[in-house]
Amino acid sequence: MTRVRGVVNGAYSLLKPYLFIIIGLEGLHFLINSILGMSGLNQNPEVSAGNIATSFLIVMAIILPLILFKRILNLGASRKEYYIGSIVTYLLFTAVFSFFNIIWYLFEINIFINYKNYFNIIEILNWNQHGKWGMFVYQFATYLLAISFFSFIVTSLKSKLGIVLSLIIAGVLSSVLSIKALRTVFVEGLTAVIMNPNIVVGTLLTLVVAGFFFAMGWYFISKKEI
């Protein structure tokens, strides 16, 4: 556990500059747009600053397998300790940003709406249908799914098999999205996973898919060269 905690601390130290840059830039962007909105100069709808800040989770899913893996193993940790520590880091940041986005969304619909409208993923995907707890659960599961997917892709890229799998995934997605009938099936399937009105079923489906990508990620981590 001590080494796993060390991996989590190392991950936070590595991610901290990226976190501050994203939060700082979006904070400045929000401040400027808020001033323009209150002055009546710009009242066009904007993408939620909370959603943009949450994009840090994708950055995290790319940075950790790209940089942290080699650094941690060179310090004496095992592959298993690295991967458990990475997943713990993913879980912690996902929980924090899910909670943060709920708070931000409540500010948007109760305060910021007086001078500007915002597009928030919580409202767009109807994640507010089960109250605040539902907002958290939907976000947590979906963000974790996105993290597991990007982490798997980045982790697998140093393997020939991983490159082949990535190309296959890209090809399948490209084909599916370009054919109307397949695109409809894909959208319906995705909706059933991340927008399922039954929060228990939707969350379980989402976490199962996320677990699959994490398992695939472990397969490549266990064989990855330092």
49-81 pLDDT, tens per residue? Answer: 999 999 999 999 999 999 998 888 888 888 999
Domain-located, residue 226: no
Domain-located, residue 56: yes
Contact 85, 7 (CB under 8 A): yes
Q: Could you tell me the residue range of the domain that residue 211 belongs to?
A: 2-221
* C-alpha Rg value of the chain to the nearest Å: 19
Note the pTM of the prediction, 2 decimals: 0.90
What is the number of other CB atoms lying within 10 angstroms of the CB of residue 170? 11
Tokens encoding 145: 């799914």
Continuous H helices in 39-130: 49-54, 56-63, 69-74, 79-110, 121-124
Please give the Cα distance from 108 to 49 (Å, whole number): 10
109-156 pLDDT, tens per residue? Answer: 998 888 778 889 999 998 998 999 999 999 999 999 999 999 999 998
Domain-located, residue 6: yes
Indicate the number of domains in the chain: 1
Contact 33, 115 (CB under 8 A): no
